[in-house]
Amino acid sequence: MQIGNNRIFYVYFYFGIISIAFLNSCKAQNNRTVLGKVDTYFEQLNRESIQHCIYRESDLFEVIKKKKNEEMYEDLMKTCEEEGSQYKLYKADTKKLLSTIYKNESSDFIIVNMVNPYRIITLTSTSTLTFSRKKNDQKIQIINNKYKFNQDKQKYELVKDSLITGSDVEQKIKLIEDYFYFNKGNSISDKSKHQSVSEMYYVIAKINGEYVIETLYDYSKD
């Protein structure tokens, strides 16, 4: 009788180990898949930003082309690339969160990327703000990218911290949580309308166990 019980125990133990290994393998596969989709999403946005800049400055590009001034061409292309630099930051910070805090997370969560309201207007490169929260949690994860002037080097440098900058982060993530979790009608929409937008959010989330990547528009009246 004891031998039979031991055999049953080992059978269940074996299948338990196999099941855990299978689930971990599925989680790892899902994580790799969403990381690839994050790459594709932000790289496409970056390309579109550069193309828009080239189109906007098409007359200047044409003049440079006629003059065959390679240095001016490279400078202008660099400016266009810097205009889309926020998408590289969004991609890096989103992947960092997905690869660390949310790597084996079973709960739903939302990661939000947006332009930092405390950006320096005179800079081509854009400061960014990435914040996230698990469902039914209170703590908000913050990645704050700001450009600060380095007096010693006499140039602006990117500085990262995790401080809430007073930009209504709690209110913003609550709006987006209501939109995703409860389908509440509010100022958030996934449609681009013919009216002014107060904010644009680039969201990567897990909703009901499924990954979602969306560009959202906030039409709230500030």
CA distances from 137 to 74, 90, 149, 207 (A): 47, 23, 36, 15
Q: Is the pLDDT of residue 197 over 50?
A: yes
* CA gap 143, 113 in Å, rounded: 9
Domain limits at 140?
2-218
Lowest-pLDDT range of 16-20, 65-69, 116-120, 159-163:
16-20
Greater confidence (5 vs 102) lies with 102
Q: How many helices (H) and strands (E) does the chain have?
A: 5, 7
Closest C-alpha among 26, 156, 40, 152 to residue 90: 40
**Rounded mean pLDDT of 174-186?**
90
* CA gap 212, 205 in Å, rounded: 5
**Rounded mean pLDDT of 173-188?**
90
- State how many domains the chain has: 1
Walk across the sheet containing 141-150 and list its strands: 155-161, 141-150, 128-134, 109-115, 199-207, 210-218, 188-189
Q: Is the pLDDT of residue 35 over 90?
A: yes
For the entire predicted model, the pTM comes to 0.81
**Residue 40 confidence (pLDDT):** 96
**Residue 3 confidence (pLDDT):** 55
pLDDT band at 89 (very low <50, low <70, confident <90, very high): very high
Q: Is the pLDDT of residue 136 over 60?
A: yes
208 torsion bin: left (phi>0), alpha (psi -120 to 50), beta (else): left
pLDDT band at 41 (very low <50, low <70, confident <90, very high): very high
* CA gap 68, 14 in Å, rounded: 71
pLDDT band at 92 (very low <50, low <70, confident <90, very high): very high
* CA gap 55, 44 in Å, rounded: 16
Closest C-alpha among 132, 138, 141 to residue 109: 132
